[in-house]
Amino acid sequence: MAKYIFISGGVLSGLGKGTATASIGRLLKNNGDKKIIVVKCDGYLNVDPGTMNPIEHGEVFVLNDGTEVDMDFGHYERFIGVEGEGDWNITSGKLFSRLIDKEREGKFLGKTIQIIPHAVDEVIEWWVDIENKHNPDYMLIEIGGTVGDNENFWFLEAARRLPKRIGRKNVAYVHLTYLPMLYNTGELKTKPAQRDIALLRSLGIHPDVLIARSHYNLPKRIRKKLSSMVDMKEDRIISGVDVKNIYEIPVMFYEQGMVNILSEILNDEINVNLEKWNNILENIKHPDNDITIAICGKYTDLHDSYASVIEALNNAGAHLKTNVNIKWIETTDIENNTISVEESLKNVDGIIVPGGFGSRGVEGKIKVIRYARENKIPFLGLCYGLQLAVIEYARNICNLKDANSTEINPNTPYPLIDILPEQKNVVNKGGTMRLGAYPANLVMGTLVHSLYNKDVVYERHRHRYEVNPEYHEILQKNGLMFSGMSPDKRLVEFIELPRNVHPYFVATQAHPELKSRFERPAPLFYGLVRACIKNETTSNKPTEIIRPNNKSIIVSSQTQ
């Protein structure tokens, strides 16, 4: 029987339940001999986050099977190395849809359907179905939202009831709470945590482990006070202090006895090996290089919109002993001529144009891509970034002056990017794009092939538009290399410029950032960071976000 570990949070949102869950999973993983399933329960009524604006909910993470899921799955996969499946993300929308379908099919035999017991029972059945399907050693279940929210009540009630079915010795409850610093007294305050734990207990859940989140280490006096007030052993209260790099969290938990605590609660021997993990952390702490990469998009007001891109850069930098700073460029400002592309990209070593949808900021991105190409600045285009790189090349090299995407201009005379035929009659937007892992055949001798060192690769996709096959020939004749194609040679998956023309100009229709791991960085990001190190043109560069109001702030990707 699997051991279940529930992770919940209180006081306020944004405490880091996702990274805490991922960190616990990494400790349980050992050398990969333990099978771990991570389930995320989200209270919102959307079936999935796929139709949400990234500013609303952060990035949409896509799994191999094509399911659009919560961004916390990125943490699970990067830390633990698991590859999630669609039914591991349970939203209230999915839950209620499933219940209503069963009711319509007559499976409740005419009973009145209610939150209790039916919705709660359905949650438990869902968890058990996942366990029976995969037979894991550990089931980690993160309860989204904050204790006290109406929208996650059924998940918490299911977590309370589960021990009656599988035995209390097979369940551990881990809870994140918050201790604010009251600056006029200069001490951490425990009252919010006390009331938080009281609320959780009123729901019938008595936490086994408490992670006390704070900007400061938990002093012994405060730990003792909190232990007394919430009636928990002191050694089961973990100080969840803010860290410079989220990959320090598993080590921090380990050093405070998290593994021994869980071993005791679950009556299970847990062996941990963090040698490789610690070696990579040492690279981060003692970098040999310092580079700046510009992320040029239109969702820059919320950095979580590009969470996987940030972490893919971190992962690559860690393996190359390089500190990767990020300069955020809002391409709408360039498009509106609020700031010039030259000023925006001043003192950067590399450029990323990430994925996105719609027309806002597009011309700004195209200006950025042209600047990167003409000035030989290492460039990586992701999804929309590939499409816009193709448009830029068609306009300025192939002399197709009004080339565009039909997404932006349906009447363009040169539809370099066009919607997939199978997408043209799609009405429903959720989960209907080209989603999930697809194969691409790589061309021997290309830079992309050398980075992957494989003939066939599978990367994850999330898009509706493709490079129009009618323009493949003219693009290639003018020097654009198609370094990866779909098996039927219809779809362009990777492009690049020859290395004697540009040090690193690569783009992909996929989202390789979604498969980056702390212990195994994504090849294209590794290649970009390596190219930036070799291509550094300036020194002592400030890393700043330039805004129209002339306010600037220093930002490092290692602190995101």
Which DSSP symbol is given to 489? S
240, 16 Cβ separation under 8 angstroms: yes
Angle between the 120-134 and 92-104 helix axes, to the nearest 10 degrees?
Answer: 100
Preceding peptide of 49 cis, ω within 30°: no
Amino acid at 140: L
Distance between CA atoms of 236 and 220, rounded to whole angstroms? 13
Distance between CA atoms of 399 and 477, rounded to whole angstroms? 12
Which DSSP symbol is given to 111? P
513 counts as catalytic: yes
Residue with tokens 């080209």: 434
User: In a 10 Å sphere around its CB, with 0-12 CB exposed, 13-18 middle and 19+ buried, how is residue 422 labelled?
Assistant: exposed
459, 515 Cβ separation under 8 angstroms: yes
Distance between CA atoms of 248 and 242, rounded to whole angstroms? 10
Distance between CA atoms of 120 and 41, rounded to whole angstroms? 12
**Which pairing describes strands 289-297 and 350-353: parallel, antiparallel, or unpaired?**
parallel
In the chain, how long is the greatest CA-to-CA distance?
A: 75
Question: Which one of 383, 392, 407, 502 is the catalytic residue?
Answer: 383
Which DSSP symbol is given to 5? E
- Tell me which residue of 440, 465, 468 sits closest to 454, measured CA to CA: 440
**Alpha carbon 379 to chain centroid, angstroms:** 21
Distance between CA atoms of 54 and 34, rounded to whole angstroms? 34
Distance between CA atoms of 486 and 163, rounded to whole angstroms? 48
**In 3-state terms, what secondary structure has residue 557?**
helix
- For the chain, the residue count is 560
Question: Which one of 57, 175, 502, 511 is the catalytic residue?
Answer: 511
434, 461 Cβ separation under 8 angstroms: yes
Phi, psi angle pair for 92, to nearest 5°: -60, -35
- As annotated, the active-site residues are 383, 511, 513
